[in-house]
Amino acid sequence: MKLGVLFSGGKDSTLALSKVMEEHEVVCLISIISSNPESYMFHVPNIHLTELQSKAMEIPLMTKETQGVKEEELEDLRKLISEAKEKYEIEGIVTGAIESVYQSSRIQNICDELGLKCLNPLWKMDQVEILRETLEKDFETIISGVFAYKLDKDWLGKQIDEEIIQKLIRLQEKYEINPAGEGGEIETTVLDTPFFKKRIKIVDSEIEWSNDSGIFKIKKAEFASKY
């Protein structure tokens, strides 16, 4: 089946992509660029990096800008998916949704309207297992946003490894934080995977911090050798 992947550049959409690649043909990536940092639907930190990630995977990318207004942003997504269907003859859409009924139900409605299958390969997976699977699959993933109590600026830019996972497990036990960030607690950016033809190297970055939350903003990145 020819598929388009809703791609944010984070660990969940990248892991979902890696899973469907085992059985299907991924013909395009689909990214919505939201100007609203508190978008209900879309990942925001470092979304611009999807262009470089697309080139690293050698999978074409389709993008569309949105103002990020609740519900109205869905029409922008519908238009972009419709364009992808026409251009690449996709038969289905892949999401990285884990538990968000708000997101998954709205994407399902768009797919139903356009006559597309909707695949959610991470749906209801254990969130710690999702983190560990990214390690098993040799993802190089950094934390690019933190938005919850007890997650301070020291987390920003850190690569997810077993030590980070253990810290997230402890925070889950004590403060009920979703370890994979499904509640919006963390955002991530993937710099390398085995199916990237080139690794992405951060050249320039800065931390933006305000009101107990912040992002690791990648200002410049380039390709680097994987070896």
Min mean pLDDT across 16-30, 68-82, 103-117 is at 68-82
Separation of alpha carbons 223 and 225, rounded Å: 7
Confidence of residue 6 (pLDDT cuts 50, 70, 90): very high
**What are the angstrom distances between the C-alpha of 104 and each of 41, 75, 123, 220?**
10, 15, 9, 32
pLDDT reported for residue 118? 97
Confidence of residue 89 (pLDDT cuts 50, 70, 90): very high
Which residue in 195, 1, 18, 22 sits closest to 85, CA to CA? 1
Helix axes of 127-136 and 162-175: crossing angle, nearest 10 degrees: 180
Predicted confidence (pLDDT) per residue in 98-152, tens digit: 988 878 899 999 999 999 999 999 999 999 999 999 999 999 999 999 998 889 9
Find the helix or strand (DSSP H, E) in which 2 lies: strand 2-6
pLDDT reported for residue 42? 63
pTM listed for this prediction: 0.94
Domains and CATH numbers, the chain: 2-119 (3.40.50.620), 135-224 (3.90.1490.10)
